[in-house]
Structure 1
Amino acid sequence: MKKAAKMIQNHLFLVIVSMLIITPVIWVFANSVKSSAEILLEPLSLPKQFTFDNYIRAWSEAGFGTGFINSVIVTLISVTLIVVVSAMAAYVLSRKKFRFRVAIQNTFLMGLMLPTFLAMAPLFLLMNDLNLVNTFHGLIMVYIAYSLSFTIFMLIAFFNHIPHSLEEAAIIDGCGPFTLFWKVMFPLAKPGLISAAIFNFVGIWNEYILALILINEEQFKTLPLKLANIMMVQQYHTDWGALYAGLVMSFIPVTIFYLIFQKRLIEGSTAGSVKE
């Protein structure tokens, strides 16, 4: 009896938490298909008449189309390079024993302790001196640098739990270091790599501060910067429909990306249970 009551209590708690999470999302989507007048008159009601003019206006007039494409380019390139570079570094730090290995790991650990805000001023001055302000490759380089520490430590933990016997069998079969990593270890690490890719994708897609510091030309602005532009415009012109439409367009790609790789994310998160 107590077990059944506890189960009901747990399910009720989960339902309440789910409603708290889902309700704001439904509210934003509902307002994104309302007219501006209906949003102001009945902001909490469901739409009486659906209109997609807000999406058209946000995509074209507010520059969301350009921001969306820029975010896709920056995010995909950044995530790909972060995962590949971090996988190589994590493999070496996990499987190879050499001098200064611990010192190198501690160096990456210090990178996790450095708040982003402390590096804002020197970062901008450095990137400006290198003529990397208002460039995609400059922003991508910064995203990679900021994400390496977390991703490397995440993948080190994963590589530590891959059985050494698989690596030894590949070496006996004649695999060299390059083939061993790319043909054996890299595919085995796929669940962990996908988990790292998801975390980095969400973080970079929604990143605002670094993009704000390094990008000020409209043609290079990413989606969060375009969304901030719409919010600033609200001080002078009330176009709440475009704002809500922009919010929907900003979280849909992340949601789709997560739903596609949800199973892999769970596999990567439970990879520590693998034993040799």
Structure 2
Amino acid sequence: MNNNIKTNNIRLRQQVRLIPGYILLILWCLFIVVMLGWIVIASLSTTKEIFSDNLLRSGPHWDNYTHVIKNGHLVTAFLNSLLYSASSVFFSILICAPAAYGLARFKFKFSEAIKRLLVIGLGVPGVMIIMPLFSLVSALNVSNSKITLIVIYVVTSIPFSTFYLLPAFTDISDSYEEAAAIDGCGPLRTFWTIVFPLAGNSITTLVIFQFIGKWNEYFMALIFAGSTENMSLSVALYQLIVAMTREGGWSGMFAAVTFVSAPTIIIYILLSKRLIGGATAGGLKG
């Protein structure tokens, strides 16, 4: 009886200690929601209403969106960002998933050295490789190209993607592969039809992380695909913000921000449970 009381008291103390943290998280979430709501409302107001603190006084102005979409090349930029993000994530998974599986399952002479190189690659800032990449791209005369940017995105994502998937494949039991081998499945078929789906949670989480990261990436997109026909949404948004700030078109600026941010917010809302579950499980439930 006394032991149960002590246990309950310890749990109660632990829960009480967590209360300040929960309060801070709730306040932060409320702040984010209020700010996002204000931006959306401001995007439907006029610039005069924004500065007079009378948002939506004359009703919603959907023409703010049509104006920035037509004049800011946002449709082209949207399709470009979709191409860059989807293609780079697809090829990254196509390369890194088998690589992570091979490192997790097979021990060979340079396996540990490769893992160390992956860790080193994780610690290299993106700014450090900009100049070497720019020199290489210029020498090959392939600058300002969609394919060039996709290749750069894929290559730079290899260390993180491979290292992230290692635990997922390590924690999958060998018995699945042994059963597949008995049934006559080769290594490649076993991986793609059995092992790969078992790591689904971690792979889905990685896909979301990588997609959002490439969708929001700005610096490399500006340098290697900055022309009007190749620019991504982040580059187009920056140009719109600069133009709208000079013109005083704040309502158009908020409309552009809402248009660009909406896809990532929607993706996170729809897949938040899968994202958090995959990140915390680390492939254990794959």
Query: How much does 1:247 deviate?
Result: 0.8
2:174 matched to 1:160? no
Contact 2:212–2:264 under 8 Å retained in 1: yes
2:45 matched to 1:38? no
Q: Judging changes above 3 Å, is the alpha-carbon distance between structure 1 residues 58 and 234 closer, same or farther for their aligned structure 2 residues?
A: closer
The correspondence for 1:102, drawn from 108, 112, 120, is 112
Q: Over residues 52-92 of structure 1, what are the superposed CA-to-partner deviations in whole Å (9 max), with x where a residue is unaligned? A: 11110111111111111111111111111112211011000
Amino acid at match of 1:30: I
Amino acid at match of 1:24: M
Contact 2:49–2:55 under 8 Å retained in 1: no
* Structure of larger gyration radius: 2
d(CA) in 2 for partners of 1:32 and 1:141? 36
Aligned to 1:197: 207
Query: How much does 1:104 deviate?
Result: 1.3
Q: Over residues 159-209 of structure 1, what are the superposed CA-to-partner deviations in whole Å (9 max), with x where a residue is unaligned? A: 111111122221122110111111111111111110100110111000001
Contact 2:202–2:283 under 8 Å retained in 1: no
The correspondence for 1:119, drawn from 122, 125, 129, is 129
Query: How much does 1:222 deviate?
Result: 0.5
Aligned to 1:218: 228
Q: Judging changes above 3 Å, is the alpha-carbon distance between structure 1 residues 259 and 234 closer, same or farther for their aligned structure 2 residues?
A: closer
* Count of residues in Structure 1 that have an aligned counterpart in Structure 2: 274
Alignment of 1:1-276 (within 5 A): 9-42=20-53, 46-48=55-57, 49-272=59-282, 274=284
Q: Over residues 24-70 of structure 1, what are the superposed CA-to-partner deviations in whole Å (9 max), with x where a residue is unaligned? A: 2112111111112212322xx54222111111011111111111111
d(CA) in 1 for partners of 2:131 and 2:21? 48
d(CA) in 1 for partners of 2:205 and 2:16? 35
Amino acid at match of 1:174: G
Q: Over residues 89-118 of structure 1, what are the superposed CA-to-partner deviations in whole Å (9 max), with x where a residue is unaligned? A: 100011111110111111222211111111
Aligned to 2:6: none
Query: How much does 1:11 deviate?
Result: 4.3
d(CA) in 2 for partners of 1:263 and 1:230? 34
Task: State the secondary structure of the residue aligned to 2:246.
Answer: coil
Q: Judging changes above 3 Å, is the alpha-carbon distance between structure 1 residues 198 and 120 closer, same or farther for their aligned structure 2 residues?
A: same
Contact 2:64–2:252 under 8 Å retained in 1: yes
d(CA) in 2 for partners of 1:273 and 1:213? 36
Q: TM-score, normalising length from structure 1?
A: 0.92
Gaps of 5+ in 1: none
Amino acid at match of 2:229: Q
d(CA) in 2 for partners of 1:140 and 1:273? 27
d(CA) in 2 for partners of 1:77 and 1:234? 31
**Percent identical:** 33
Cα RMSD (Å): 2.1
d(CA) in 1 for partners of 2:249 and 2:31? 26
Gaps of 5+ in 2: 1-8
Contact 2:92–2:157 under 8 Å retained in 1: yes
d(CA) in 2 for partners of 1:93 and 1:224? 35
Amino acid at match of 2:211: F
Q: Over residues 201-258 of structure 1, what are the superposed CA-to-partner deviations in whole Å (9 max), with x where a residue is unaligned? A: 1110000011111123111110000011012214531111221111111111112222
Contact 2:96–2:161 under 8 Å retained in 1: yes
Amino acid at match of 1:157: P
Amino acid at match of 2:176: L
Contact 2:204–2:275 under 8 Å retained in 1: yes
Task: State the secondary structure of the residue aligned to 2:229.
Answer: helix
